[in-house]
């Protein structure tokens, strides 16, 4: 028998799968990310609908309460997501830094060539 809270959780998971698909259609997520998010929400739905299976899994690893297992899993998930976000942020910072350096060098070269051209034109004006 599905309880009211389980029903709300399943509806929430389905809405999240829909949002993942919408973001995929907007090209904000790629196919791999869509698959990961959809799999995560399907797994969450399975855990919501069949909590006894999860309890048996927890008991095999000598975890006394199901909540303890969920909290440990949450910590692992959050830590891994933070690590991935940190790595991606560092990559973006490096790309931005390289772009800015190239742009600055281009601007310096252009300003030097303009300065040289203006000096040559000044000399030409002074000679005449």
Residue-wise pLDDT for 19-30, tens only, equals 999 999 999 999
Q: What is the pLDDT of residue 120?
A: 65
Cα(56)–Cα(32) distance, integer angstroms: 31
At 11 the pLDDT is 94
pLDDT (0 to 100) of residue 38: 95
Q: How many CB atoms lie within 10 A of CB 87?
A: 10
**Domain locations in the chain as residue ranges:** 1-49, 64-128
């Amino acid at each position: 028998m599905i309880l009211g809270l389980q029903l709300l959780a399943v509806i929430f998971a389905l809405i999240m799968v829909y949002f993942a698909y919408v973001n995929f259609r907007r090209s904000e997520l790629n196919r791999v990310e869509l698959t990961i998010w959809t799999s995560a929400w399907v797994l969450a739905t399975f855990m919501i609908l069949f909590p006894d299976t999860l309890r048996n899994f927890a008991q095999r690893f000598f975890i006394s309460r199901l909540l303890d297992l969920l909290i440990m899993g949450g910590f692992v998930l959050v830590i891994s997501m933070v690590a991935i976000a940190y790595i991606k942020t560092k990559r973006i910072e490096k790309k931005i830094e390289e772009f800015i350096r190239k742009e600055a060098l281009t601007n310096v070269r252009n300003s030097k060539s303009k300065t040289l051209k203006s000096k040559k034109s000044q000399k030409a004006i002074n000679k005449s």
